[in-house]
Amino acid sequence: MWELIKAGGWLMFPLVICSIAALAIMIERGIRLQQKKVAPSGLVQSLAAKLHQGRLTPQEVTELQMSSPLGDLLATGIQYSGGGLEYMTLQMQNRASTLIHRLEKHLNLLGTIGNIAPLLGLLGTVLGIIESFLAVNVGGNTDPAMLASGISQALMSTAAGMIVAIPSLIAYRHYQRKVADFAVEMEEQAGILLHIIHGAHHSPVIDDLHAPTDIPHTSSIISNSVFGQKTAPSATLSSSSAKQSQS
């Protein structure tokens, strides 16, 4: 292996560095971007019963936030659910942007390696051919043996550039598509959470009995939210119509 690297010239060293970096990124992203670690299926459905009954404690919300990026997004929505539908949606969108950015970590570097590796190989090819012609000119003859070193360098660097670039680009496209799929799934789960919390009137989503005293009660926050304001007029109208019928 070392002899092959030496035969390719000095440009083989940056190609070796690129190959090591690309391999490390592919392994790291392969471990991180797993379905069960990013967006476990049915996570929001498993929370539906507790959300409707208001039996979700702050400790459970914290554990949900630490479990996965999708859990982090859902926990953000639950924590800001008392501010109303629009405020909750805005906070979840901001958090989703941060989480997607984290999922795309190192992918730009992987794509860059895939793009520059063939150029480094091409540069090695050009330098090898130049070295061959210089050897011919200096020697003053056209002995084919004198061209062997430069041609070997040209072919070796070109092959090394392609070997590094092809897997890097394949992995880059694969992980990029995987992140896009996770983003769609997280958006779908977030929409289900919005419907569960603000689609119908129910108990507070967090059990205030288990909450610390310094945290404001979710029930009081929801009563002042946009959702609470929308449901209040209907209750007022029903009470007034009942009084008129009695009179």
Work out the pLDDT band at 245, boundaries 50, 70, 90: very low
What average pLDDT score do residues 188-209 get? 70
Q: From CA 38, how far away is CA 68, in angstroms rounded?
A: 5
Report how far Cα 45 is from the mean position of its chain's Cα atoms.
22
pTM (2 d.p.): 0.72
What confidence score (pLDDT) does residue 146 get? 61
Has residue 126 got a pLDDT over 60?
Answer: yes
Q: Which amino acid is at 135?
A: A
Check: CB of residue 55 under 8 Å from CB of residue 196: no
What confidence score (pLDDT) does residue 17 get? 93
What average pLDDT score do residues 138-143 get? 58
What confidence score (pLDDT) does residue 31 get? 94
- Closest by Cα among 186, 229, 233, 199 to 52: 199
pLDDT (tens digit, 9 = 90+) per residue, 42-69? 888 888 878 877 777 889 889 989 999 9
**What residues have CB less than 8 Å from 119, skipping those under 6 apart?**
161
Domain ranges of the chain: 11-115+165-198
